[in-house]
Structure 1
Amino acid sequence: MNFKSSISAIFSILLLAIISVNSFAQNAGKGKINGKVIDAVTKLPVDYATISVFKQGATSPFNGISTDAKGTFVIDNIPAGDYKVAVDFLGYTRTTIEHVIVTEGIGTPALNNILLAPVQNQLTGVTITAKAPIIENRIDKMVYNAANDLTAQGGVALDVLKKVPQVSVDIDGNVELQGNANVRFLINGKPSSIFGASLADALQAIPASQIKSIEVITSPGAKYDAAGTGGIINIILKDSKVQGINGSVNLAAGTRLENGSFNLNMRKNNFGVNAFFSGNAQLATTGLNSNNRTSTDASAGTTTNLTQSGNNTQRRSGYQSGLSFNWSITPKDDLTASVGFNHFGNHGNGFSSQDEFKTTTGGATLYDLLSNRISDSRFHVNATDVSLAYKKQFKKEGQELEILYTTSYGKNTFSYFNEQDYLTGGYPTSGSRSNNPGNDRETNISIDYVHPFNKTFTLEGGAKAVIQNLKNVVNTDTLLNDGTYINNANQSYGFNYKRQIYAAYLSVSTSLFKEFLDVKAGIRNEYTNTSADFAGVTIPGYNTVVPSLTFSHKLSPTSSVKASYNYRIERPDYGDLNPFYNISDPHNISTGNPNLKPELSHGIELGYNKSFDGGANIYFGSFYRHNIDDIQQFSTRYDSLNVNGRVYPDVILNQRSNIGTQTTVGANLFGSVPIGKLNLRTNMFFASRTNTNPGISKVTGLAYRINLNATYQFPHDFTAEAFANYNSSQKGLQGTRPYFFFYNIAVRKQFMNKKASLGLQAANPFTHYVTQRGTTFGPGFNQVSIRQVPLQSFGVTLSYKFGKLEFSKDKDKGRDKEDNAMPQGDGGR
C-alpha cells in the first residue's frame, strides 16, 4: 500500500471513529448564556443585535454572538463564573446586565426580554466608525483587514499582501504562502480568469483602497477546491449592506503610482445594489540590469563568456468595474447576482549591449562578438466575471442550501519584438516579432448543503463542476536581410486546451469528550479530464481523493490550539503548458511544457493563539509540507538551440518542470501589542526547504521573512504609521533568489466627522534603487544577474465617505447593520 492509500485508509477509519464517539459525547462540563432581545417601545424582536460577554473587570469581550431573526441568542461552551453581558444595536442605547452567573453543566437562567431603548434624538445621518482589528485569527483562516492599513492605501494589492501573515512577496510580485508559490487566488470567494494570464500583473491592477480584507487559508477543508498546494488567498473587495445610499471615493497620486476607486451602495428594504470602479497606472520607471554568464562545452573544448548590460522601462495600467444586486426574497431566501469587468496590461521596452567572447580551453580566442539589442514587449488582458448565487435558510438554525454559478471569460494578448545589430563579425541585423492572442473561459457550478443534527454535530456536503476551455494562436515573423519581415511558418500555430473537473465532498464538524475537542473532518473527490491538441502529447484523466482533518481545543476563553492535516493538488495552468517560445531575448528563451504532471502535496500544521485583555494578541504556528512531482522553473544551457527550424547560439532555456520532491518545514510568529496610543505588530516567518531531483544533488536552504509595523494615534484624528519588511535570499536547486528589503511611512488626518481623510505616503524614501543579485547555475554554465529596481515613490491620498444611512424598526421591512465580521463569499469553493 502506497503513502496516499495509507493516508486515505487512516482518514476513513478516523472519520468513522469520530462519528461513533460523537454519539456518546455528552453536552456537559460547561454552561451557556441564552436570551431574547426586544425593542422597549414596539416590543418587536431586535434581530442582529450584538451580544458581548465580558469577564468581570475586563474591558474586552471574550465571546459574543448576534441575535437571530426572532431576537434570540445562545452562547455555548461558557466556563463557570461571574460575567457581564452587554447588548448593542445601532440606534439603540446599550443595555448591560451585571453578574450573570454561569454554573458548570447547568448554565444560567434565560435572559428573556432584554429591553433595548431607541435613541431619543434620531439622527438624519449616521457614520459608522467601528473598527475591526488588523489581524483576525480564526479556526480555519487568518484575516488581514486592509481597510485599517495606512501605508498600503496608496498602493496596490501586492503592497497589502506584503503585510499579511504567512505571505511573502518578492520584488517582481511573485507571491508565496508558507514558502510555496502554488497559491489559489480568489476574489470575493470566487475564481477569476484575470489570475490565469499573469498573476503579478493582476495583483498590481487592484488598488489597495478597493480591498476590504485578505483571507489566508493554509489548511482548506473539504468544501474548498483541492487546487493550490500552498493554500488559498481570498481577496475581499469593499461592499456595504447598510440601508440607504452611501459610498466612498479614494484617490492617490504619486511619483510612481496613481490609482483611484469609487464605490456606490444603494439599499432599500430587501433590495440592494453595489457598483464600483477602480483603476491604476504605474508611471514609466526605468531599471538597470546586467548579466554575466560563463558557459563551457567540454565536447568542443570551448568556453563562452556572455556579458549583457542595459536598461528596461516598464509601464502598467489597469481598471476594474462591477455591478452586483442582492435581493432578500424572504427572510430565509437570498439571491445575489454580479458582473465584473477587468482590464490590465504592461508595456516594457529595453536596450542591452552584449559581448559574446568565445575561447578554447587553452585560451585561444575564437571570436569576440559585440552587439546591441533593442526589445519591446506588450501584454494585456480583458476579462468578464459573472455570478449568480441563491441561498436558502431553513427553520432549523444553521441549516442552509446554497447554489452558485460563476463564469469568467478572459481575452489576452502577448507580443514581443527584438532586433540585434552586430558591431563586429560582419553579421547582418537579425530579429523577430511575435503576436500571441488567446482566450480563457472557465465556468463553475456548485451546490452546498449544511445540516446541523444538534449543537455539536453538523454534516456538510456538496458537488461542483469546473469547465475550462483555453484557445491560443501564435504568429511569428522573422527579419530578413532587406529589413522586411516574413512569416515563420515553423513558429506559427494554434492550439486548444480543455479541462473538466468534477468534485463531490462530505465533511463533519463535531465536539468530542464533553466539548473538550472540536473536530472537523472531510473528504473530497475530484476527477480531472483533460484534452489538448499539442503535437505528440496525450494527457490521461485522473482521480484525486483529498482528505482533510482539523482538531482545535480552547485552553481558556482567550487561548486555543489547533492541529490540521490536508492533501492538495496543483494542476499545471495555462502559462505552464503553453508551448509558445518567448524569444524577446535570444540568449534567454522561455517556453511552457505541455508534458507537465500535477503536483501533489501533504501538509501538517500546528498553531497556538492567545488574546489578552489589554488588546494584545500572539499567534505561533508551525508546518510540514511534502510535495511530489514539484513544479518549478528549470534552466538548461544549450550551445545552440533549434527552435522550429531556426538555430539560436548560447541559449539558456527556461521551462517549468516536475523537478522531483520538495519538503518544507517552517514556523510563523505574529504578535500585536498596544501600548497606550502606540500599536506594535510583527510577523516573522522561517522555513527550511529541501529540493530533491534525480539528476542533481539534494539542496537545502533556509529562508525567512521579518516585518515590523508601528502605528501611533495622535490627538485630533491624526495617525502615523511605519512599516519595514525583509525577505531573505533563498537557495534553490539551480542558484539563489536575491534578498529584498522594503520600507515605507505614512500619515493620515481625518476631518469632517471622519468622513474625509488626507494622507501622505513615502516608499523607500531614502533609497532610489533596490539592488537584486541572483545566481543561476547548471551543467555547463554559471550566471550572475544584477538588477537595480526603482521602488522609491512619494504620494498623497484623499478619501471621502458620503451618504445617509436609514434604519427601520419594522421587522417586515428588514434591518441591516454594518457587518464588522468579514464576508465569507462562497467559501472559496
Structure 2
Amino acid sequence: MQRILIPLLLIVLTTFQGLAQQNQNSITISGKVVDSESGQPLEYATFVLQSAESPDQVTGGITDIDGNFEIETAPGTYNIRVEFISYKTYSKQGQTYNLDTNLGSITLSPDVAQLAEVEVVGEKTTVEVRLDKKIYNIGKDLTTSGATISDALSNVPSVNVDIDGAISLRGNENVRILINGKPSALAGFGSTEALQQLPADAIEKVEVITSPSARYDAEGTAGILNIVLKREKTLGFNGSVNLYGGHPTNGGITANANLRTDKFNFFTTVGYRYREGPGNGFFDTRYFDPRQDAFLDSIAYDRNIEDRDIDRINRGVNLNFGMEYFFSEQSSITGSYFYRTGSDEDLTTNVNDYFLNNDPQVGTTRSELETEKDNTHQISLNYINRLDEDGQVLTADVQFSVDEESQNGYIAEPVRYNNTDNTDIAIPMEETSSLQDQTEYLVQSDYVLPFGEGSQFEAGYRGTFENEVTDYRLLQENANGMLEVNVNQTNVFDFTQNVHALYSQYGSKFGDFNFLLGLRMESTQLKGKIESELTEEELQEEFSFPIDTDFDNNYTGLFPTVNLIYEFTERENVSLGYNRRINRPWSWFLNPFPSRSSRTNIFQGNPNLRPAFSNAFDLGYLKRWDKLTLTSSVYYQRETDAFQRVQEQVFITGPGGSQVEVIRNIPFNLATNDRTGAEVGMLYNPTKWLRLNGSVNFFRFSLDGEFNGVDYSQSNNSWFGRFSSKVELPWKIDWQTNAFYRGASDDIQGRSDGILSIDLAFSKDLLNDNATISLNVQDLLNSRKRSSFTTTDFFEQDSDFQWRQRQLRVSFIYRINEQKKRGRQERQDGGEFEEGQF
C-alpha cells in the first residue's frame, strides 16, 4: 500500500510548489456594489480584474456583507467586470490604475431576460448525450421531495428500482453504482441499502452509462449509474432546509449549506430520518410428495401456506461536510468527511399452516425481531490542477471508508394446534448475532492531455482494496430449554477483494465524426476464508456441494471500449458503442452459510462462484426539436458464466443433529445469457405549463445452461415503461404524476407477473418563492407488489411480496439565498472542468 500512496502524494506535493508569489509593487483598488433599485449592498458580488495587455492574467475578489471590495494588484491597464447572479454584468475596458483607487459605488440592475432563461433551466428535466453516457439533469421532481436517492433513481429513464430496492439498468441488475465518479460508502458496500437512507435532495444529476469508456470501472455488465451530488458553485452563502413527515409514520429533516468565497468553498449536508415501512409476503407451497418436518415430528403434510407481515423502523443521521481551497484559478484541493449512523428494527411475523390432502394439520407463528446498528465513515481528499488553458488536467484522489454493522435476531415459533391431538410439539427458540466490519481504500490519479484540433488523450490508475469480516453466531434452544451454539451454522467469513486498474484512451473529432477508443486492464484478487468448528469434510456434507474454505482467486483481464458518434446537425446524432465488462461475485453471494429469515425458505451463498464476463454493443439515435427531445437505442449483450439463482430441496442440520428440509435459493455460474433490447425516450414541453416525459424499454434474454442434470435453458421477453407529466396550475401550484409498469416475464423456474406503480404530487410556492410546500403519494394504488409462480421437480409455489406499502408525505422546503429557479453559475475561469468532454 505504501508503494502506491507515497509516489502519489509526492506528485501532489510537487505540484503545489508552483504557486506564484505576490508582486511587491502593488496598489489597492476598492469600491462598493449596490442594487440599482433599492440601493442595498450586494454581498458576494464578484469583482474581476483582467490585464488588458495579458488577458490570461486575471485576479479579483468578492464583496463583503456591506457590498465593499478591495483588491491588491500591480499597476497597469485592466478590463474590469462586476457580476452577481440574476443581475446584468457591469464592465469597463482599458482602465489604467497606477495608484490606490476607490471606484465608489457600482450599481447593478436585475437582468429580467436572464431570470426568464434561468426559470426554464431550473425547472426542466434535460438530457445531454456524450460519447459514453447520457446525463439526466433531473430538475425539480416533486414526487421525491423528502424521499431517498433510491426513490429518485426510479424516475430516471432506463433505470428500474424493484420492490426490494434492487437497482437494474435495462432490466439487468448487475449495475455499478458510483458517487461523483468513484466507488463510495455512500452507495453501500456491494448493496444498495445506503441509497434507501440518503435524501434525494442531494442529487444534482444522474449519468446513465450504458457504454462505459475505459476511465470507468469494468465492473457491472449492465453498465454504470453515476450519481453526482450537489455542490454550489455560486459565490456567497446559500442553503436550504427540508422538513417532512407522513403516513405510515415517517419524518425527518435535511439541511444543506454552502459558503463560497474567492479562496474557499465550505459545504455541508446534515439530515435525520425516521421511517416505518410495513411490508408483507405470501407463499403457498404445494409439494408433489408428502413430507415430514423434523420439528413437527409425526405431522405429515403436502402443503404449506406462509403469511408474512413485516414491520420496519429505520432511523438514523447522515452528515457530509467539506471544504475546497483554491490555490489559484487553476488548482484546488477538496477534503470531505461523510458519516452515516442507523438504528433499525425489523419485526417479521410468519404464520405457517400445514395441510395434508387439504386438511389442516398444525400451525405455527414464527416471530423474528432483528435489530441493527450501523456506522459508516468516509474521508476523501481530491486534488485538481488545470495545468494550462488548453484543458490539460491532473487529478489525484485518496479515499478511506469504514463500516461497522451489528445485527441481533430473536426467533420464536410457538405451535398452534389444528386438526391433531399431538400436543408435544415444541419448535426451539433461536438467537442470532452478526458483526460485520468493512473497510475500503481507494487511490486514484487521472491525467488529461488535449492536443491538436479536438483531440484528447487520457490515462490513469485506480486501486481499490476492500475487506469484509462477518462473524455470525446462531444459538438454539436445546431439550433442557437452554440456548446452545449451533456449530453447524456459527462461523466467521473473511472476504477480501483487491483491484488494480490501469487505463488509457484517445478521442478525437473529424468534422461531424467523433470517436473515443480506450483500453483498461484490471487485476483482481478475490480471497475468502471460512472459520468454523466443522471440518472441511463436515462442511462439504452440510452444504451438499463441494466448497473451498480458503480460496484465493486471481483474475487479470483486458477491457476494450469503442465509442463513436456522428452529428448530422447540432440537434441530431447517431452513436455506436462497444465494451467488455466483468461481474464479480460480492460477499453475500459467496458466504455459504444460510440465512434465517424463514425456516422453510432460505438464501445461501456459493464460494465457488466465478466472475462473469460480457461483451455489449449499443446503437443510439438522438433528435432535438424546439419542444421535443427524442432518444432511442438498440443493444445486444452476451454474458458468459452468468449468475442465476436456483431453488433446490435440501436438508440442513438443526438442534440435536436433526435434519430439517428447506427450499434453498442459491446462485451458480449457470448459463450463457444473450440479451437484446431497444428503448425509446421522450421529453416534450408543448407549452410553458405542461411537461411530459416518457420512455419504453423492451428486452429479450436467452439462457443456455444446466445444473445438477437439470436444463434451465429458456428464452424470455419483457418490457417496462414509465411516464411522467408535470402541470403548472393557477396560484403557483404544480401537479406531477409518475407512472411505471413492468411487464410480466418468464424466469428459469417459473413466471413473474407485471407490476404497476403510480406516484402523485402537488406543490405550492410560498414566502416570495423562498419556500415550497408539497404533498406526495408513493404507490397511489398500493400495487407495487411482486407476484410470481415457481415450479420445480418437487414443488410448486405461488408467492406475493410487497417491500413497502403506500406512503403519504408532506414536505416543507425553505431556501436561504437560494432562489428556487436560479441557475448555477460556473467559475470565472471558464467553467468547472468535467472529464470526458468527448
Q: Is the 8 A contact 2:282 2:305 kept in 1?
A: no
**Contact between 2:285 and 2:795, CA under 8 Å: does it hold in 1?**
no
Counterpart for residue 121 of structure 1: 108
Distance change in 2, residues 1:206/1:681 (3 Å): same
Deviation sequence 1:709-739 (CA, Å, 0-9, x none): 1111234533221111111222111222342
Determine which of 127, 130, 136 is the counterpart of 2:127. Answer: 136
Query: Deviation at 1:195?
Result: 4.0
Which stretch shows the higher mean deviation, 782-791 or 219-228? Answer: 782-791
What do residues 310-329 of structure 1 show as CA deviations (whole Å, max 9, x unaligned)? 42222223332111110111
In 2, Cα distance between equivalents of 1:275 and 1:447: 25
| Preserved CA contact (<8 Å) 1:418 1:585 | no
- The alpha-carbon deviation at position 819 of structure 1 amounts to 12
Partner of 2:816: 802
Instruction: Tell me the residue number matched to 2:662.
Output: 651
RMSD, aligned α-carbons: 3.6
User: Shift of residue 450 of structure 1?
Assistant: 1.0
1:304 is aligned to 302
Does residue 1:387 correspond to 2:401, yes or no? no
Kindly indicate whether residue 411 of structure 2 is the aligned counterpart of residue 413 of structure 1.
no
Deviation at 1:200, TM superposition (A): 4.1
Q: In 2, Cα distance between the equivalents of 1:440 and 1:488?
A: 25
In 2, the alpha carbon distance for the partners of 1:47 and 1:122 equals: 28
| Residue correspondence of structure 1 range 808-819 to structure 2 within 5 A | none
Q: What is the SS of the residue equivalent to 2:588?
A: helix
Q: Does 1:228 align with 2:220?
A: yes
Does the 8 A contact of 2:51 with 2:57 survive in 1? Answer: no
Q: In the alignment, residue 263 of structure 2 is paired with which amino acid?
A: N
Partner amino acid, structure 2, of 1:347? E
Structure 1 pair 298–427 and aligned structure 2 pair: CA distance change class (3 A)? closer
CA positional deviation for 1:400: 0.8
Cα distance, 1:636–1:663 mapped onto 2, change above 3 Å: same
Structure-2 residue corresponding to 1:727:
742
1:600 and 2:598 aligned: no
Which residue number corresponds to residue 210 of structure 1? 202
Matched, 1:189 2:181: yes
Which range is displaced more, 271-280 or 746-755? 746-755
Q: Alignment partner of 1:151: what SS?
A: helix
Q: Distance in 2 between matches of 1:376 and 1:163?
A: 33
Matches within 5 A, 1:88-99: 90=85, 93=88
The answer as to 2:700 corresponding to 1:688 is yes
Find 1:399's aligned residue among 382, 387, 392. Answer: 392
Q: Give 1:255's aligned residue.
A: 247
8 Å contact kept, 1:194–1:410: no
**Matched residue of 1:131: which SS?**
helix
Query: What is the aligned partner in structure 2 of residue 487 from structure 1?
Result: 485
Preserved contact between residue 408 and residue 431 of structure 2 (Cα < 8 Å):
yes
Q: CA deviation at 1:565?
A: 0.2
Query: Which residue identity does 1:473 align to in structure 2?
Result: D
Query: Which one is further off, 445-454 or 139-148?
Result: 139-148
Q: Following the alignment from structure 1 to structure 2, what is the Cα–Cα distance between the partners of residues 185 and 681?
A: 24
> Contact between 2:764 and 2:774, CA under 8 Å: does it hold in 1?
yes
Give the TM-score normalised by the residue count of structure 2. Answer: 0.79
Contact preservation (8 Å) 1:154, 1:761: no
Instruction: Give the deviation of 1:41 after TM superposition.
Output: 11
Deviation of 1:788 (Å): 5.3
1:203 alignment partner, SS class? helix
Matched, 1:560 2:558: no
Q: What is the Cα deviation at residue 162 of structure 1?
A: 1.4
| Deviation per residue, 1:358-393 (Å, 9 max, x gap) | 57xxx9x9x934333222233443211111111111
Query: Residue 299 and residue 376 in structure 1: after superposition, are their counterparts in 2 closer, same or farther (change >3 A)?
Result: closer
Q: 2-side partners of 1:819 and 1:277: how far apart?
A: 31
Aligned to 1:525: 521
CA separation in 1, counterparts of 2:355 and 2:577? 56
Q: Among residues 620, 623, 643, which one is paired with 1:631 in the alignment?
A: 643
Note closer, same or farther for the CA distance 1:321–1:40 as it changes in structure 2 (3 Å cut): closer
SS in 2 for 1:630: strand
CA distance in 2, matches of 1:46, 1:804: 32
Q: Is the 8 A contact 2:478 2:655 kept in 1?
A: no
Match runs of 1:708-787 below 5 Å: 708-765=723-780, 767-768=781-782, 770-787=784-801
Distance 2:491 2:199 in 1: 37
> In structure 1, what residue type is equivalent to 2:470?
N
Residue 631 (structure 2) pairs with residue 616 (structure 1): no
- Residues 597, 384 of structure 1: CA spacing in aligned structure 2 closer, same or farther, 3 A cutoff? same
Question: Could you tell me which amino acid in structure 1 is paired with residue 799 of structure 2?
Answer: S
Structure 1, residues 575-601: CA drift from partner, whole Å, max 9, x if none? 112233212311012222111111111
SS of alignment partner, residue 764 of structure 2: strand
Following superposition of structure 1 onto structure 2, how do residues 154-193 of structure 1 map, counting pairs within 5 Å? Answer: 154-193=146-185
Match of 2:683 in 1: 672
Cα distance in 1 between the residues matched to 2:110 and 2:485: 71
Q: TM-score, normalised by structure 1?
A: 0.80
Name the amino acid aligned to 1:388. L
1-structure distance, mates of 2:488, 2:552 = 24
> Residue 296 and residue 699 in structure 1: after superposition, are their counterparts in 2 closer, same or farther (change >3 A)?
farther
1:590 equivalent among 579, 583, 603: 603
Give the aligned partner of residue 102 of structure 2.
none
Q: Distance in 2 between matches of 1:682 and 1:273?
A: 38
Q: Determine the structure 1 residue equivalent to 2:264.
A: 271
Alpha carbons 1:213, 1:822 under 8 Å: kept = no
Task: Provide the residue aligned with 2:471 in structure 1.
Answer: 473
Amino acid at match of 2:274: A
Assess if the C-alpha contact under 8 Å between 1:170 and 1:727 holds in 2. Answer: no
- The residue identity in structure 2 corresponding to 1:157 is I
CA deviations 1:485-519 (Å, max 9, x no partner) are 1122332222322222111111000124xx23211
TM-fit CA distance, 1:212: 2.2
Q: 2:129 and 2:57 mapped to 1: Cα distance?
A: 24
CA contact (8 A) 1:211 1:236 kept: yes
Structure 2 CA distance, aligned partners of 1:284 and 1:271?
41
Q: Residue 484 of structure 1: CA displacement?
A: 2.7
Structure 2 unaligned residues grouped into runs of 5+: 1-46, 59-77, 95-104, 294-299, 531-535, 537-547, 820-824
Taking the aligned partners of 1:393 and 1:771, their CA distance within structure 2 comes to 50
8 Å Cα contact 2:680-2:697 kept in structure 1: yes
- 2:683 partner amino acid: S
CA distance in 2, matches of 1:704, 1:479: 48
Q: CA deviation at 1:194?
A: 5.2
Matched, 1:578 2:591: yes
Q: What's the counterpart of residue 330 of structure 1?
A: 328
Q: 2 CA distance for matches of 1:414 and 1:656?
A: 24
SS at match of 2:156: coil
1:282 matched to 2:269? The reply is no
Residue aligned with 2:488, SS: helix
- Structure 1 residues 477 and 330: alpha-carbon distance in aligned structure 2, compared to 1, 3 A threshold: same
Q: 1:374 to 1:751 in 2, by over 3 A?
A: closer
CA–CA distance in structure 1, aligned partners of residues 57 and 273 of structure 2? 40
Measured after TM superposition, the shift of residue 141 of structure 1 is 1.9
Instruction: Report if aligned partners of 1:620, 1:667 keep a CA contact under 8 Å in 2.
Output: yes
Deviations 1:273-295 (A, max 9, x none): 11111232222525353433324
Q: Call closer, same or farther: CA 1:738–1:278 in 2, change over 3 Å.
A: farther
Change (3 A) 1:288 1:693: closer
* Percent of aligned positions that are identical: 24
Alignment of 1:53-64 (within 5 A): none
Which position in structure 1 is the counterpart of 2:31?
A: none
Q: 1:205 to 1:91 in 2, by over 3 A?
A: closer
661 and 288 in structure 1: CA distance in 2 versus 1, 3 angstrom threshold: closer
Looking at structure 2, the residues matched to 819 and 668 of structure 1 have their Cα atoms a distance apart, in angstroms, of 39
- Given residue 490 of structure 2, which amino acid in structure 1 is its aligned partner? S
Equivalent pair of 1:245/1:264 in contact (CA under 8 Å): yes
Q: 1:223 to 1:209 in 2, by over 3 A?
A: same
- 8 A Cα contact 2:675 2:702, kept in partner: yes
Question: Is the 8 Å Cα contact of residues 153 and 209 (structure 1) preserved in structure 2?
Answer: yes
What are the superposed Cα offsets for residues 130-157 of structure 1, whole Å, 9 maximum, x if unpaired? 5164131321222233441112213222
Instruction: Give the drift of 1:751.
Output: 2.9
